[in-house]
Amino acid sequence: MSDARQSEVSELSLDILLVDDEPTSREAVSLCVESLGHKPRAVASADEALRVNDSEIHDLALVDLRLGADSGLELVTSLQEQSPWTKVAVITAHGSIESAIEAMRRGAIDYIEKPVSPHSVQAITRQISTVRRLETNLERLRDDLERAIPPPRIRTESRAMREVLTMARRAAESEATILLRGESGTGKGVLARAIHDWSTRREGPFSVVNTPTLSRELLESELFGHVKGAFTGAVRSRPGRIARTAGGTLLLDEIGTMPVELQPKLLRFLQDRSYERVGSDTTQTADVRMIVATNHDLEAAVEAAEFREDLYFRIRVIEIEVPPLRDRLEDLLPLADSFVDFFGARYGRPGARLTEGARRALMERKWPGNVRELQNAVERAVILSRGSQIGAGSLPPVDNKPGSTAGQTPMITLDEAERRHLKGVLEAADSGKEAAQILGISTTTLWRRRRKHDL
């Protein structure tokens, strides 16, 4: 890959707030930012900068230290307090380097001397783009560690699953909306993540919204964001998951349960990538690739007027059916072995292996909960067994009655459980410091998790 192509792949498109009271300078820097592929938002004063930054999310703020009657240094501090995730760089005239150094003491990451050149702006944006990509990767790894999720296994011995993966790889090359269908626990989320990793958006964020775990009001806010005062408890503006996933892929899980009242808003976003946050009439746009998943009969939901027909046709541009585990038994034992390796390492049992009796027992089960049920069964067996051999007696009792959900996890994600717990502690505590003490974590970790869950 050439250096130019590598740069194109590596650098993300950033949302940049420019604060400069000189119209000519403001316009020149805005054009420079835009020419580099980023999105500028230019304002002329500190008050306007704080107002805009409270309602929009920015990756970078470029602040001129001389803002007429306003103090650029004070604005640096205020921006850092208002949105800690926004990186701030200052613009200074030659001979005012002392002020730039003071700004960096206050949290600015760098400074640019006037007259501002495209080269100096590009150096800053490349730096922030790299940081954002590293933050995304770190957040992804942290989530995986916290949830202790086994690494996804994309390899398959099943002909049916090979056809699914071939179709998914082809679909990943496009920007089309993808509908993943299949029973609960078949691995639709794993496939969605693989599609993201195979796509040109692989450097961007991958995010999941689990529709059934949220009320209509919370789901709307989670997806589209809200402005301060939009509802009781909205003490400040928050970007939604769509805004935070810009440049990446958003998986909307169990779309069949989405309230009818929200479906027109989702349809509009899928059509032209525009939306409004809750409580705002300002239209925003976001470059997000959408993947939706469901185990519901959408056709029946359309007939029952529980799902909009126009939305149904819009989401099934590319439709992929993920087969249940009983229809790809060739993958059952390789999956089980991979789970044994993962949970063996996690619980201090490296080298643990399934006995032949356990392997036969696994093959004889019907697995109504599919891959998720298999994962849970193997985790239980690893925990309960002694020595390096995992026998059939360590597996959960057989329950293959029709409609049985043995081995399946409750219908709430770990992310949602953490969000609810955090929300309860924050409401009960008198301060963030007290909440962190109750949770047994540092205030920095609390801030990171509040940011993750928009609390």
User: Residue 151's pLDDT is what?
Assistant: 66
380 and 428 together in one domain: no
User: Residue 414's pLDDT is what?
Assistant: 63
249 three-class SS: strand
Buried b (16+ CB within 10 A) or exposed e, 377-411: bbbebbeebeeeebbbebbeeeeeeeeeebbeeee
306 and 175 together in one domain: yes
Tell me whether residue 408 is in a domain: no
Measured over the CA atoms of residue 419, residue 424, residue 427 and residue 430, the dihedral's sign is negative
CB 324 within 8 A of CB 370: yes
Q: Look up residue 328 and give its two tokens.
A: 């790809």
Tell me whether residue 240 is in a domain: yes
Only one residue has tokens 């790299």, namely 130
Tell me whether residue 366 is in a domain: yes
97 and 208 together in one domain: no
Q: In whole angstroms, what is the distance from residue 354 CA to residue 332 CA?
A: 13
190 and 290 together in one domain: yes
CATH code of the domain containing 292 = 3.40.50.300
388 and 300 together in one domain: no
User: Residue 5's pLDDT is what?
Assistant: 37
Q: What total number of domains does the chain contain?
A: 4
163 and 273 together in one domain: yes
Domain boundary among 98, 118, 134: 134
390 and 418 together in one domain: no
212 and 96 together in one domain: no
CB 371 within 8 A of CB 341: no
79 and 178 together in one domain: no
CATH code of the domain containing 345 = 1.10.8.60
Tell me whether residue 399 is in a domain: no
Nearest partner of 109 among 133, 134, 82, 91, judged by Cα: 91
Tell me whether residue 184 is in a domain: yes
Tell me whether residue 241 is in a domain: yes
317 and 335 together in one domain: no
Tell me whether residue 146 is in a domain: no
CB 215 within 8 A of CB 171: no
pLDDT in tens, the chain (455 residues): 444 434 444 567 888 999 999 999 899 999 999 999 899 999 999 999 988 887 777 889 999 988 888 888 899 988 888 777 789 999 887 667 778 788 888 888 888 888 888 899 999 999 888 887 787 777 666 655 555 566 667 789 899 999 999 999 999 999 999 999 999 999 999 999 999 999 999 888 899 999 988 888 889 999 998 887 888 777 777 888 998 898 899 999 999 999 999 999 999 999 999 999 898 888 888 899 999 999 999 999 999 999 999 999 999 999 999 999 999 999 999 999 999 999 898 888 888 999 999 999 999 999 999 999 999 999 999 988 878 899 998 898 876 444 444 444 444 566 677 777 777 677 666 677 777 776 777 776 777 777 777 77
311 and 219 together in one domain: yes
Q: Which domain holds residue 352?
A: 326-394
User: Residue 429's pLDDT is what?
Assistant: 66
Domain boundary among 300, 323, 346: 323
Give CA separation, 401 vs 82, 248, 377, 405, 418, in Å.
Answer: 55, 41, 17, 9, 32
255 and 189 together in one domain: yes
Tell me whether residue 140 is in a domain: no
